[in-house]
């Protein structure tokens, strides 16, 4: 249920020209075609919306958060380099206390 709620928030938090995918177990990938400052604002708004959610499961209320890693595509960058930068920033978020956005 938590993944369903998160997926809904990701989908609503981006424009129609952008894309949201479930990337792996608990990971999502957002492709947002905008500038750095707007991308950070979008990610932070999504993070705050997720943080405010509470899902009921088997009689218990479950709170959850999101850690995000952002990067910017540059001309000539291959997908391996792009995903490596995103992953490094994601782990910076996770290792510095979670529930944050790192660019």
Residues designated catalytic: 26
Query: Are 50 and 30 in contact, with CB atoms under 8 Å apart?
Result: no
Specify the length of the chain in residues: 103
Residues 84, 100: Cα–Cα separation, whole Å: 19
Residues 46, 100: Cα–Cα separation, whole Å: 11
Residues 11, 9: Cα–Cα separation, whole Å: 5
Task: Locate 86 and state its tokens.
Answer: 């995103």
Residue where the block lists tokens 């500038």: 35
């Amino acid at each position: 249920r938590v993944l369903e709620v998160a997926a809904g928030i990701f989908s609503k938090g981006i424009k129609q020209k952008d894309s949201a995918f479930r990337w792996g177990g608990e990971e999502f990938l957002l492709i947002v075609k905008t500038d750095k400052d707007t991308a950070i604002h979008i990610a932070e708004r999504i993070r705050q919306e997720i943080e405010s959610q509470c899902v009921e499961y088997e009689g218990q209320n479950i709170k959850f958060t999101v850690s995000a890693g952002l990067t910017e595509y540059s001309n000539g960058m291959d997908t391996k380099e792009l995903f490596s930068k995103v992953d490094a920033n994601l782990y910076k978020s996770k290792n510095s206390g979670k529930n944050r956005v790192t660019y």
